[in-house]
Homo-oligomer: A and B are copies of this chain.
Amino acid sequence: MNKHISDLQLAYMAGFIDGDGSIYAQMISNNNYKFQYQIRVTVAMFQHTSRIHFLQRIQSELQIGTIRKRNDSMSQLDLVGVENVQPLLLKLQPYLRIKQKQANLMLRITQQLPLAKDNPVKFLELCQLADQIANLNDSKKRTNTAEIVKTTLLDLGFIKK
């Protein structure tokens, strides 16, 4: 991401994310992964598609992210993956007020994710941190919880009861 972004731009973005953005981690079912799930980390900002230029400006200031038009006349700027989310949250962290807890939990996930690659117990711990973020976000439509991942890890014999 852009290393020359200013503190004023970051403070503005933190305010916008606190108001109309989201910081979340998902467990995505994926058979190519050892533990059958990958943890996907995302920072997202939302805006009516009629004001998509707003998201384009943020994208160009950050020099990362992809914009997608949803089918409910809203658009979304997604900043996905450890390599994007970690440097961004490290910079936003001092300015976030409402979602600072989510940012801190997310940074714990991104920092420990390399350790979890071959360690099922650590992997499950990070899924539980993802659940904690979801609880702070009042997420409702979430199917893949740490409990579901745990069942899979038990079934595959990676962990024991």
Chain B residues with CB under 8 Å of A47's CB are: 98
Q: Which of B20, B21, B95 contacts A12 (CB 8 A)?
A: B95
Residues of chain B within 8 A (CB-CB) of A16 are: 15-16, 18-19
Rounded to whole Å, the gap between the CB of A33 and the closest CB of chain B is 34
CA distance A126 to B11 in the complex (A): 33
Number of this chain's copies in the assembly equals 2
Compute how far the CA of A98 lies from the CA of B47 in the bound complex, rounded to whole angstroms: 10
Central interface residue in A8, A12, A47, A97, by most chain B CB within 10 Å: A12
**Residue of A9, A19, A57 with highest tally of chain B CB at under 10 A:** A19
Interface string of A13-42 (1 = CB under 8 A from B): 111111111000000000000000000000
* Shortest distance from the beta carbon of A160 to any chain B beta carbon, whole Å: 39
Q: Report B-chain residues with C-beta under 8 Å of the C-beta of A95.
A: 8, 12
CB-based nearest B residue for A13: B15
The 4 closest A-B pairs by CB, nearest first: A19-B19, A15-B15, A19-B20, A15-B16
Would you give 10 A-B contacts (Cβ < 8 Å), ordered by A? A11-B11, A11-B12, A13-B15, A14-B15, A15-B15, A15-B16, A15-B17, A16-B16, A17-B19, A51-B98
